[in-house]
Structure 1
Amino acid sequence: MYLSRIQINPARRGARKLLGSPQAMHAAVLASFPQSDEERGRVLWRVDRDGPRTWVYVVSAPAPDFAHVVEQAGWPTTQSTWAVRSYEPLLERLAAGQEWAFRLTANPTHTREGKRYAHVTVAQQLDWLLTRTAGWGFDVRGRDDARDLVVHDRRVDRFPRSGRTVTIAKATFDGVLTVVDPDALRAAMTHGVGPAKGYGCGLLTLAASA
């Protein structure tokens, strides 16, 4: 498995096209792999906006080649703006009891009468996350049972697909988690969580906790 990231230049026309359409970004990410769909397997991606910088993170089984994305939407003369690294060392390190900072952009939804509806309030979105963390192998309640968790960058993406408008409500969660089941957490990190994985949702990443 590989964890990759590429810095996007929002001032470029190609970047604005990708950032404005999850479908266009999805196509650009998949074009980074020469393998067939079956050989490539699930590819997860997420757009992060951290201050003035915009990054696309990608988790995949094969290693990607971002040359075309750099040419279209990045800085073609600056090689340090993208990197591809093996994910295995981090995945193998996971152990019960560890604490990690995490980020997840998700599409919090619920099903009613066979139809899927988005959760639209912060409280609903937080509850959506908290009722699912056990199945994903972690907990976000600290030693004093205080939740170190915030939800931000809440937005609704709309784009045309096959003659209809697709609507995806997104929310980004930042917090600190405690590993409970390392195998379940590895599965969540490599296969994604929740719906709309093809459109920038479901990628859970970890970082050292301060």
Structure 2
Amino acid sequence: MYLTRFRLNTGRSGTHRLLASPHQMHGAVNMSFPTAPPREDGGGPRVLWRVDHAPAGRADLFIVSPQRPDLTHLVEQAGWPTLDEPGWTTYAYGDFLDRLTAGDTWSFRLTANPVQHIRKPSDPNTPRKRTAHLTLRHQVRWLLKRQEKAGFEILRKPAGRRLLPGQKDDPGDEHEVIVHNKVPHQFRKGDAPRNAKTDVRLVRVTYDGRLRITDPDALRRTLTCGLGKAKAYGCGLMTLAPEQ
């Protein structure tokens, strides 16, 4: 497995096109490999990507992949092609994953597509429809419901720092996690005319927080296979960093 970081040149029109369309970014990421990555979830490691935005307009593309990528085409489209540096850094991710140990605590970042499947109350026989969680408490609850199976637990705040204690299905602010950068997307698949069948709508949110590893093998699967839906469109990639 490999973890790659690519700094996007936000002053270029090619970068703006990629950032505006997760479908185009998905295609650009896939072009980094000689063989096309699998399109459907097969249970094994897959290509995941995420764009992190930072102050002063900086944007970084992160990619986790079973194969080492070649991002030369991205440098030409959305980087600094006249510089001598390659424009990206790739790390051997497997060594890091092998060192994960139960009980260790880490800071984490996850960009995800928190959704639910609901039916119209007036017609319980209709098929379930996937809809986005739009409120903070539902977005946090979505992540908390998945933490055990994903191999981690989000740390709880000391009692003195809790301002909104949890109640029933409302987690309040008891956990060491914040949700930010909620971005709704609507874009077309390919070059087809825009209509209900070719349009994709999704909401991406970013979670930052602190976790404790409970099941290293499960967490390795989470880090290499992704968490949640819309993985092809920049969701599902969790990364860890040492606690500050």
User: What TM-score, normalized by structure 1, do the two folds share?
Assistant: 0.94
Deviations 1:53-92 (A, max 9, x none): 1000000000000110011001121526410111011101
Q: 1:150 matched to which residue of 2?
A: 178
1:122 aligns with 2:136: yes
Aligned AA (2:66) = A
Q: 1:95 matched to which residue of 2?
A: 101
Distance 1:155-1:37 versus aligned 2 partners, 3 A rule: closer
| Gap runs ≥5 in structure 1 | none
Question: Which one is further off, 8-17 or 77-86?
Answer: 77-86
Aligned AA (1:128) = W
Aligned AA (1:115) = K
Q: 1:50 matched to which residue of 2?
A: 54
Q: Any conservation in 1 of the 2:140–2:179 contact (CA below 8 Å)?
A: yes
Aligned AA (1:64) = P
Question: Which one is further off, 159-168 or 106-115?
Answer: 159-168
| Gap runs ≥5 in structure 2 | 39-43, 120-127, 160-173
Q: Give runs of aligned pairs for residues 39-118 of structure 1, distance below 5 A.
A: 42-52=46-56, 53-76=58-81, 77=83, 79=85, 81-113=87-119, 114-118=128-132
Question: Which one is further off, 179-188 or 155-164?
Answer: 155-164
Match of 1:174 among 203, 208, 213: 208
CA distance in 2, matches of 1:41, 1:128: 23
CA distance in 2, matches of 1:11, 1:37: 29
Alpha-carbon offset, residue 22 of structure 1: 0.1
- Matched pairs, number: 209
CA RMSD of aligned residues (A): 1.7
Q: 1:10 matched to which residue of 2?
A: 10
CA distance in 2, matches of 1:121, 1:194: 17
CA distance in 2, matches of 1:13, 1:94: 40
3-state secondary structure, aligned to 1:188: helix
Aligned AA (2:147) = T
Which of the pair has more CA radius of gyration?
2
Q: Any conservation in 1 of the 2:182–2:206 contact (CA below 8 Å)?
A: yes
CA distance in 1, matches of 2:84, 2:19: 20
Q: Any conservation in 1 of the 2:100–2:216 contact (CA below 8 Å)?
A: yes
CA distance in 2, matches of 1:13, 1:209: 36
Alpha-carbon offset, residue 104 of structure 1: 0.2
Distance 1:102-1:80 versus aligned 2 partners, 3 A rule: farther
Question: Which one is further off, 142-151 or 26-35?
Answer: 142-151
3-state secondary structure, aligned to 2:11: coil
Alpha-carbon offset, residue 144 of structure 1: 4.0
User: What TM-score, normalized by structure 2, do the two folds share?
Assistant: 0.82
Q: Give runs of aligned pairs for residues 188-203 of structure 1, distance below 5 A.
A: 188-203=222-237
**How much identity, in percent, do the aligned residues show?**
44
Alpha-carbon offset, residue 128 of structure 1: 0.5
